Each structure stands twice: as structure tokens, then as C-alpha cells.
Amino acid sequence: MTVRSRGALAITIAALLFLYVPLVVVVLFSFHNTGSLSLPFTGFSLRWYRFVLSDPGFRSALENSLFVAAWTSAVTLVLGTLASFGLARTRSRLRGPLALLFFLPITLPGLFIGLAMLVFFVRTTLNLSLTTVIIAHCVYVFPYFLLIAIAALERLDPALEEAAADLGANGWLRFWRVTMPQIWPLLAGATCLAFALSFDEFVITFFVIGPDGTLPLYIWSQLRRTVDPSINVVSTLLMTVTLVLWLAAFLFALRAARRRAASGDELVAEVVPL
Amino acid sequence: MSEQLAAVTVERITHRFGSVVALDDVSLTFRQGEFVTMLGPSGCGKTTLLRIVAGFERPTAGRVLLGDADITRVAPHRRPLNMVFQRPTLFPHLDVAGNVAFGLRVAGVERAQRDARVAEALQLVRLEGYGKRRADELSGGQMQRIALARALVNRPRVLLLDEPLSALDLKIRLEMEVELRRIHRESGATFVYVTHDQREALALSDRVVVFNEGRVDQVGTPDEIYHQPASPFAARFVGDANVLPVSVVRVDDGQAEVTIGGETVRVQARGDGARVGPAWLVVRAEVVRLTERGLLRGIVRDGAFRGTGFTYQLEVAGVDEPFKAEVTSEGQAVLLPLGSEIGLQWDPSACVLLEREEGA
Amino acid sequence: MLLTLPATAAMAVFFVAPIAIFVVYSFLTAQLYDVSRPFTFDAYAAALDSPLNRTLARNSIEIGLLSAVCSVALALPVAYWLRYATGRWRMVVLFLITASMFASYLVRIYAWRTMLGEHGVVNSALQSLGLIDHPLGFLIFNRFAVTVALVHIFLPYAVLVLFAGFQPIRPGLLEAAQDLGAGSYMRFRRVILPLVAAPALSAFLFVFVLSASDYVTPQFVGGSSGVMLGVQVQANFTTVGNYPLGAATSLLMLAAFVALYLAMRIGLRLARLDRVRFS
């Protein structure tokens, strides 16, 4: 069908500009050779990168963020993989309630999760620290991981496992030789996504963080005072890490989808995580 | 007579998708009230032509006339034509009555009249009382009948049907053919029908247009198409005939003498190939009889029981393709064993000679 | 089924228990940064009575509605184009929209402060073009700025939800509608709108809930007219130290969200658009 979509195309282009111009401006000014954050742009320089990278506050925030995101994604990978297999392969009556429990955090605004966590940690006298942040991030990230993992498992063709069983493969062999090769790219992608979500999380983290800050917290404290391009540098670095991870997740998903020789539209439907 | 008036005329239509030529200089007239079928294999351009008439494609060159009016550049929703699509495209948010009423509602027909015409249309397709059903509660055949009602309720000058039965089971398809003929008679509209099923085309139409690679190969009544194919393509595509390369050695008294692989055979001199020189001899599989003596001799390479008779594939000297024969079980009660040699006989008047280029 | 056990246990301890304690807190009596018995409804009464809360709630609702309406209105044509346009650009645009979802939340807020500030990009660009003499003051520290930033944050989600909503609407359905005489407005009104009503409302609710409960954006670009209820809830926990009041206020917000969700479900059911099954 030849859709006459000139109006829709114009709005699409406008939407893309709206989404990208502010971000491009932030990145652009991270390379500014003066301390000014307004036009005109007078020239490129890496001075603010040097400045930020030599700031011990930034370094520790970066380390903390990597630490938190690594633990969050590792814990999510283990719990999420187990839970997705349990949930996808059961016909138990508990399936519905369990799914509700697992997916509820997605439906709640971060403000509530953060506050409930804060109250919980205060009540149980767990000192606020990076550990509490990791716990909170796991709760927040878990449903996203599960969503992707369950979708991957439900797309598996049960006939393949049956064929493997028919050819004499036992349960363990079927899992490693038939199921895993099909879903590992998506699990890897979901882990990258978990890392990215944790790395960038602020709304919940704000309430449950102790004395050690993460990268978003570092940006937040800068936002409250400064007006020099060092915040643009941190922002650019943060977005780069998140985007690279998302890109990895995207490529993993693309790989999984391509293998199954899906059509263009199916490919799109599978790769868009939502 | 009103039957001779042109409902739709397409004039010198050429259509390209990129570098692919889908239609190459096609001109046709669909007369008022007739049932015309455009027949051809997939990719021959028949659906493209239908979509050009409906307005979903704008032709690269050429004109579409509705009566005398040029509608080539008129948008689909402004054309008094309606279409039944290959896949049932019922609106999933509307019930059956809502679907059938769609066109009337868009046109602003008032409620009382709308309801009456919807009821009438549902009656025409024999689905009275289905108004409150939802699309997913219908069978495939019912969905297509609703699609028909949804189109016919607008009283279109021409109804376009794009392989509407191709998604249905054989049994339902045969029932729907009967329904389509009745609905055509009762509605009096012009039906332009697209199909790749030659049996459907012969069963339904007043006239058949055979398409091949973006061109019109032959136009005629089903009888003409079947008995007097104009090209080897039409002969093969409609009714699956044997098309044999022969040389005509003599023509006299309405009789032609032709040679096939050294054998000489006399046939009626019919068709544009009935002159001395190379020609194609068209022999339909069902006019062939297998006897002890025959015009030609063949070796049985495959045989299958078909209920009413047998179908055979035979090897005949001088013919590259397998020679097909369909015989009734009256003459022979048992299947001939593979490898047996048998004579091939047919009524000399049931053949057509077609022009053949030297060496083809 | 046993495989779900570790996750179930973890979620019970670290998600269900916190929520439960949070609810209990809202019924307790406030001490400074602490709570004590007896159980009362005082916190709820206080939350509902407070004129400040009412003003902030109105701000939240207005900004939330505006953000949700703008996001969905902008996302509809974009998703439409993504679904029905042909060619390779479609994939590129889809990729860009999805990628932008992963641009940091805080960075976006900061980006709009850079764009809209008194010496921001918009003002300095307009000035250098000679269109204005003095910086426009109404660009930032108000509701407009908050709404712009929130739409920027949530637009990609809305586009993807609607894109998924458009998926089952085959181009053939739109052709059939056109064949039956429907022009572009009628196709939108009678086919597209009813068929994407459910996903469009999901996207609307999603943006509304997350916008109305946002507490970070207003702090940085909202000024005094753009303050929202979430900021006050956060303050109750961090600077005021009145836990029950903060808990009660946020649970009332949650109740309002649930009520809105139910109202939408009922609306869809009444319009018989809640269970459209595509064939």
C-alpha cells in the first residue's frame, strides 16, 4: 500500500530532532574549549575530559557504578534465568500470581519503590550502602530481564526438543545442546540491558544510597551547583556506556532473530524490547 | 442492449515496479453486468491490473475509464467500485452489521435506510441474523460472504474480486462458486474476478482474460478458451493440454497431415498453425483414448487411479515432455502396467494447430 | 516450578515486605524521622487537608495530563509512519527512537536546562539571529519546561507502545476502508482510532503515571510554578522527616493511578474496544 504519509513523515522528522538536538548539544559542549555553556561554540578541546578524568570524585563514582551494575546484572542473570524457565515451563495455578509478583515492579513508579526500600532498610537497620543499592536495582531490573527471557523461551519450537529426545538426548543434553544455543544470545542481551538500566538508575538509587555515590548521583550533585562543561563530559560518558550496552543487547537480539530467519517485520517485533 | 455497454475500460495500461514491468500495454473492456475473470499464474499482472482499477496503484502509463469518465487519477475512496480482498479484511472492532454498514456510514446514509440495506445485503449472501456476530466468530467462507455483502451493499458499478476463494478449503470453495454465480445474477453488478485457478475461471465467467507475463494472451468465452486456445501458453494453462511440436506437411479439404517423430497423423485443419511448416498440435488429455492400434505409440511411465478413470504419463517418440492421457474406467477396468506399450487415439476434430517458430 | 523459588524468596523479602512496611507506616504516628503507635488515619487526613498538597496535586495532574497528551499525540503519527512507510529509513528511525530511550534520564533533564536556560541554546540562538533583544524568560523554571523535559523522556516509550499497537492492523484493513469510501479522516476516525485505542490509552497511562510522580525534573527546571507532589513526598522523607505523611501521600497518589487505570478499562469495555481480536 502506498501510504500518503507526508504529514506523518514530517512529524517523525520533527520528533527525531526534538529527541536528538538537546542530547547532541550536551555532547557538543563537552568538547568546548572554554567554560561557557551557551552559543557561540568557540572551538573543540579535550580539556574538560582531562579535568573530569583526573577528578577522584568522578573515578570513585565510576567504580561504584560499575561495581553495582556488575553485581546487579550477575544476580539478575542467575535469578532471572532460573525464574524464566520455571515460569515458562509450568502449567501450575501459581503461574499467574507469580508472574504478577515478578512484573509488579515495572508497573510501579520508581518513587514508590525507592521510598518503600528506604523505609525497609531503615526498619531492618541495614545500613545504606552500595549493597542496598544493588538489592534495589535487582528488584527494579528483574522484570525487564524476565520479560525478554520468557519471550525467548516461548518462541522456542518445542518440536526441536522433542526431536532431540527422539534422537536419544537426555534432559541435560537437550538443555545444553538444543535450548541454550537458541536462547543464549537473548539472555546475554538481557544481561547487557540489566547492566545498562542499573548503570543509569537514579530515581530509586537516590533514596537507598549511602555515603558512596554512583555516576548518576555524581551528575545530580553537579547539576545542583555547577555550570561548566565538566557535567557535559560526565553526561556524555554515562550515555556512551549505556548506549554501547544497549547496542550490544540489540545486536544479540538481532543475531537470535536472524538465526530463525524471521521476516523483516517479525525481526522488528522481536528486537524491540517491550 | 445494456449488456454491451462498457462498465470499465482500461486503455494501454503499462505499469512498472522499479525496473520490473508488471503490465505491458494492456487494453481491455469490461461490459456492464458481465462476469469477467482475469486468469493467469502468480506474477502475471492480473492483481496489479485489478488494483489499478480499484485505484490502489496509479499506472505508469495508460488510462482507466468508468463508463466514459477518466478515473485514472481519482483516489480509491472516490471511485464507485468496491473490492473483495484475497484475505478477509473484516474490521475486528466492528460486528458483522457494523462491517457491512461501513461504506454506508462513511457516505452518510441515514440510519433507517442503512439498516434496511444491511439486512438486504446479508440476505443476499444468506447470512441473515448474523449481524451481531463478531468477525472472529465466523468461518472463512462466512467471512468472505460478509466481505461480499460489505462491498455489494454500496451498489457498486463494478465489483472487483481478488482471488476471494483462494484461502478457503476445496469443499467450501465449490459451494462458494455456486453462491457467487447466484449473487452475480441477483445483484446484476459487473464482476471482475481475478484467479489463478483455471477451473474456477471456466466455471464462473461469461468471459475469461488469460494473462501471461504482463500481457493479455487471449480473451474469450470459457468455451472458446478451452476449445480454441490461441497460444501454447493458454493451452497448457487452461485444462493442461498436450502441446506437441509437429510439422504440417499438407493441408487440403479442411484436413492437415502432420508428422510427429516420424509418424504421420491426420487432424482437422483448425487454428492459425494450419499451414505447411512447423506448428504446435494441441491435444487435450481427456480426448485421448488408449487402444491396441493408434495414431501414435507410447510407453506407460506413470499411471494413477482417479476414481472416474485413470491418468497416464506416456513416453512418445519425438515428444520431449510426457504425453498426458486421461481415460475413463469404462473402456479399461484395470490400470495398465508400467512399461507397457500402447496406441494413442483421438478424435481428429478435437485438435488445434498453433503457429510455431522454426526451431521452437 | 522449583526454579522460581530463589526469585520468589528474594522478591518476597526485598519487594513485598518493603511495600507492606511502607503501607503500615502510613497508618502510624509521626515522630521526627521515626514512627510510633498508635495506628491512626491522621497521616491520610493531613495529606488530604493540606492546601499545599492540593496545589501540588493539581500541578502534578495538569503537568502529567499535558505530558501524556503531548507524548501520545506526537507518538501517534510517528508510530503510524513507522508501521506503514516502506523502505530502509523505517528501520533507521526505529533504531534511533529505541536508542534514544537509553539516553540517561538525568542527562535529558540537564539537556533541557541547557536548551531553555536564560543563556541557553534557544535564547542565544534567537539572539544571534537577531529575532529577540533580551533572553526569553518564560522558557524555563515553569510548567512548560517540566512538560517539555518529561515529553522528551517518555516519548520513545509512547512511540514503541503505539508501534506495537499498530502491528496487527494490516495495511489491507486501511485499503478496505478506503475502498469503501473512507477518506483519510474517516480512516483515522473509524478504523485506526478504535483499533489503537487500547494501546494508546496504555501509553497515555504510562506517561501520565511516570510524569505525575516525577520528583527530579521539577527540581531542576520547574521553578516555583512547576513544583509537583513527588517533590513534596520526597521532602517528607529526606528533609522534613515525616514518614507517615509522605507514605500516605504517595499511597493516595497510587490509589488515584489505580482508579484512573480502572476508569480506562471500563471506558474501553463500554466502547467494546477492550477485546479486539485481529485475524
Question: If pLDDT is split at 50, 70 and 90, which confidence band does B2 have?
Answer: very low
Question: If pLDDT is split at 50, 70 and 90, which confidence band does C86 have?
Answer: confident
Report the candidate in B352, B355, B345 with the shortest Cα–Cα distance to residue B268: B352
Report the candidate in C125, C107, C129 with the shortest Cα–Cα distance to residue C116: C125
Say whether pLDDT at C12 is over 80.
Answer: yes
Question: If pLDDT is split at 50, 70 and 90, which confidence band does B332 have?
Answer: low
| Angstrom distance (rounded) from CA B52 to CA B76 | 9
The residue of chain B with its CA nearest to that of C279 is: B136
Q: How far is CA B352 from the centre of its chain?
A: 20
Say whether B57 and A1 touch across the interface (CB within 8 A): no
Question: If pLDDT is split at 50, 70 and 90, which confidence band does A259 have?
Answer: low
Nearest CB to B89; choose among C176, C183, C194: C176
Report how far apart, in Å, the C-alpha atoms of B23 and of each of B52, B142, C39 are: 10, 33, 82
Residue A79 DSSP symbol:
H
Say whether C181 and B106 touch across the interface (CB within 8 A): yes
| Angstrom distance (rounded) from CA C92 to CA C230 | 36
Q: Do B8 and B53 meet the contact criterion of CB atoms below 8 Å apart? A: yes
Residues 206-245 of A with CB under 8 A from C: 206-207, 216, 219-220, 223, 231, 235, 238-239, 242-243, 245
Residue of A90, A204, A272 to mutate, interface with C, max C Cβ within 10 Å: A272
Question: If pLDDT is split at 50, 70 and 90, which confidence band does A274 have?
Answer: very low
Convert the pLDDT of each residue in C176-223 to its tens digit. Answer: 999 999 988 899 899 999 999 999 999 999 999 999 999 999 988 888
Mean pLDDT of chain C: 89
Q: To the nearest whole percent, how much of chain A has pLDDT over 90?
A: 31
SS3 B331: coil
pLDDT of residue B349: 80
Residue with cell 522478591: C11
Looking only at the bridges linking them, the beta strands covering B35-39 and B207-212 are parallel
Residues 327-356 of B with CB under 8 A from A: none
Say whether A11 and C81 touch across the interface (CB within 8 A): yes
CA torsion sign, A90 to A94 to A99 to A105? negative
pLDDT of residue B190: 93
pLDDT of residue B206: 93
Kindly give, in sequence order, each residue whose CB lies less than 8 Å from that of residue A142, ignoring residues fewer than 6 positions away. Answer: A76, A79, A80, A102, A105, C7, C11
Task: Among B207-216, B252-261, C232-241, name the most confident range.
Answer: B207-216
Residue with cell 485499503: C175
The C-alpha angle C240, C243, C246, rounded to 5 degrees, equals 85
Query: Cell numbers at residue B167, please?
Result: 484461502
Query: Cell numbers at residue C103, please?
Result: 539516553
B57 touches chain A (CB under 8 A): yes
pLDDT of residue B359: 63
Name chain C contacts of B102, Cβ cutoff 8 Å.
177, 180, 182, 190
Neighbours of B50 (CB within 10 A): 20
Convert the pLDDT of each residue in A84-137 to its tens digit. Answer: 888 887 777 888 888 888 888 888 898 999 999 999 998 888 888 898 999 999
| Angstrom distance (rounded) from CA B293 to CA B345 | 8
* pTM for this model (two decimals): 0.85
Nearest CB to A37; choose among C10, C114, C155: C114
Say whether C175 and B135 touch across the interface (CB within 8 A): no
Report how far apart, in Å, the C-alpha atoms of A218 and of each of A60, A65, A110 are: 10, 10, 19
The residue of chain B with its CA nearest to that of A1 is: B56
Looking only at the bridges linking them, the beta strands covering B289-291 and B341-345 are antiparallel
Nearest CB to C181; choose among B54, B88, B107: B107
Residues 115-134 of B with CB under 8 A from A: none
Alpha helices (H) along chain C: 5-11, 17-26, 42-49, 51-84, 89-101, 105-116, 121-128, 143-166, 171-179, 184-187, 193-212, 217-221, 229-235, 243-270
Name chain C contacts of A265, Cβ cutoff 8 Å.
167
Question: If pLDDT is split at 50, 70 and 90, which confidence band does A4 have?
Answer: low
Lateral strand order in the sheet of B323-328:
B289-291, B341-345, B296-305, B309-316, B323-328
The C-alpha angle A240, A246, A251, rounded to 5 degrees, equals 125
Q: How far is CA B149 from the centre of its chain?
A: 23
pLDDT of residue B205: 93
